[in-house]
Structures are given as structure tokens and as C-alpha cells.
Amino acid sequence: MSEKKEIIRVENLRREFMVGGEKVKALRGVSFTIHEGEFVTIMGTSGSGKSTLLNMLGCLDTPTSGEYCLDGVSVQAMSKNQRAVTRNRKIGFVFQNYNLLPKTTSIENVELPLLYNSSVSAKERREKAIQALQAVGLHDRLYHKSNQMSGGQQQRVAIARALVNDPVIILADEATGNLDTRTSFSILTLFQELHRRQRTIIFVTHNPDLALYSSRNIVLRDGKIVSDTYNDHPASAREVYESLPTDND
């Protein structure tokens, strides 16, 4: 595993908030390294600091102290705008509530990150968006509007949007939280497929069952890592998905 490229390296990451004049320690010294091609689940109950960690990893927030290197570049030295550009080029976000633009077609939603990248031409943008939608199995839904699609389809569009800029890491925040079990597993299957294609994925969730399907599981409690285990033989989400009864029954 050591010959693989380091994507994320955090060292002694701390984050404190001032809430009502009181100091709240959300992260109390977190350290880990994630290499290319890993599918990491980060677990923890609410208040464990997993959202804070995700914001940090997603360059939306900066740590109070500690070191964060993304793809070999130190993030805390960056300005607000540099972090925005980093998010645009290196990170793909998938949210619990999809966060698609309303009344907008799939393809336009997927093109969105590339609109903020002036080095991508309109033609390239369209091609990449179509490729990304094909990768999530929505090649027949290019021009459907977001409100005309089911939750699972919307989340697929969101994943395509996260893939379109060819990021070094995909950050998923409770990406299956709003979906029913069957659809959850279909989305999980998609993540496993992406993993097989050597995508690096961090999947933040409070659902402990999902640890079975990732290659590594980090558990947070009270702002500290309590366990960090590798899973060399993740269970197949596809098998579970296929074993579940369809809605038609």
C-alpha cells in the first residue's frame, strides 16, 4: 500500500469553535493518511466531529491547528479563493440532499463545476458531462429536469457532478441518508464500482452497517479517532441490492 500515492495526509488536526462564549472542541487531534484508490468510511454519532472533519477535508473550513495536505499541497496556507479553486479541481462533493439546481436538466447540473473552470471549453464541458452521466448509468436521462427524477436518480446525477471534474477525491456526506434501503444499495454499488476503478472515496455516515462495504473504516468519537481498520474483503453491495425485493411486488 505504501507505493501508492498519498492523497490526504492529516496530522494532529484540531478545530475549536466559540459557541456562546464557550470553547467547543470539535476535533481534538486527528491524524491519518489516505492513499489513492481507498474507499474509506468515516463513522461516528452526531457530535463526534465527523461533519467538522468532512468540512476540513473538503477545504470548506480550515483547522485551528494541525496539518492538512491534499494531493501533496498544504491547504491551511491557502487563501479563500485558492481553496475554492482547489475544491473545483480536486474535490467532488456528494450531499445527503443531492443539492441539485431546481428545474435544471441533469446535464446542466453536471456541467456546473466545469462552468467555474475557465480552461474547459463548452464542447469539452458537454462531452465530460455526458461521460460522467454514462458512468453513473444515466445516459438515457440527460435532459430530464431534477424535479422529474426519483431520489436515487437525483443522487446519481449528484455523483456524476462530483465525477465530472475528475477529482482526486470524492467526499460523500451521508450520501444514502435520504434513500430507501434498495436505492441505498444501488448507490453503494455505484460507489463500489467507482472504487474498483481506482477512485479515492471518503464516505461519511452515522450508519455502522456501511463499514462492511468499504475498504477502510475510521470511527470518530468526541473528536478523536477510536478505531481505524482495514477491510481487505469488502462485501458486495450489488449482491445485497439484487437480493432485495423490487418495489413491484
Partner 1 sequence: MKFVNLLKIALRALSNNKLRCFLTMLGIIIGVASVITMLAIGQGSKNSIKAQISEMGSNMIMIHPGNMQRGGVRQSADDMQTIKIEDYESLSRLPGIAAISPSVNSGGQLVYGNNNYPSSIYGVTPEYLEIRKLKIKDGTIFSDQDIRTAAKVCILGKTVIDNLFPDGQDPVGKVVRFGKIPMTVIGVLESKGTNSMGQDQDDVVLAPYTTVMKRILAIDYLQGIFASAVNEDKTNETIDQITEQLRVNHKLKDGVDDDFQIRSQQELSEMMNSTSDMMTVLLACIAGISLLVGGIGIMNIMYVSVTERTREIGLRMSIGARGIDILSQFLIEAVIISVTGGIIGILLGVIASWLVSVIANWPVYIQLYSVVLSFVVCTVTGIFFGWYPAQKASNLDPIEALRYE
68 contacts 86 by C-beta, under 8 angstroms:
no
Q: Whole-angstrom Cα distance, residue 55 to residue 134?
A: 29
Pairing label, strands 65-70, 73-74? antiparallel
H-run or E-run covering 76: none
115 binds partner 1 per the rule CB under 8 A:
yes
Question: Which one, 89 or 224, has the nearer CB to partner 1?
Answer: 89
Q: Identify the residue among 117, 131, 178, 231 touching partner 1 (CB under 8 A).
A: 117
Measure the CA angle with vertex 153, ends 148 and 156; round to 5°. Answer: 135
Count of residues touching partner 1 (by CB under 8 A)? 28
Q: Does 89 bind partner 1 (CB under 8 A)?
A: yes
Q: Which of 5, 17, 116, 196 binds partner 1 (CB under 8 A)?
A: 116
Please report how close the Cβ of residue 176 comes to partner 1 at its closest, in angstroms. Answer: 18
Give the DSSP letter of residue 105. B
Q: Quote the distance between the C-alpha of residue 88 and its chain's center.
A: 14
Contact code string over 61-80 relative to partner 1, x by CB under 8 A: x------------------x
Could you list the beta-strand ranges (E) of 62-191: 65-70, 73-74, 91-94, 169-173
Minimum CB separation from partner 1 for residue 54, in Å?
A: 10
Residue 195's φ and ψ, nearest 5 degrees, are -60, -45
CB of 246 to partner 1, least distance (A): 32
Looking at the Cβ atoms of 117 and 231, the one nearer to partner 1 is: 117
Q: Which residue has the cell 443531492?
A: 98
Binding letters toward partner 1, positions 187-226, x by CB under 8 A:
----------------------------------------
Residue 138-157 contact track with partner 1, rule CB under 8 A, x = bound: --------------------
- Strand (E) or helix (H) holding 41: strand 39-43
Name which of residues 90 to 109 contact partner 1 (CB under 8 A): 93, 95, 99, 101-104, 108
Q: In this structure, is the dihedral angle defined by the CA atoms of residues 162, 67, 3 and 35, taken in order, positive or negative?
A: negative
- Contact present, 194 and 145 (Cβ < 8 Å): no
- Contact positions toward partner 1, by CB under 8 A? 55, 58, 60-61, 80-81, 84-89, 93, 95, 99, 101-104, 108, 112-113, 115-118, 161, 165
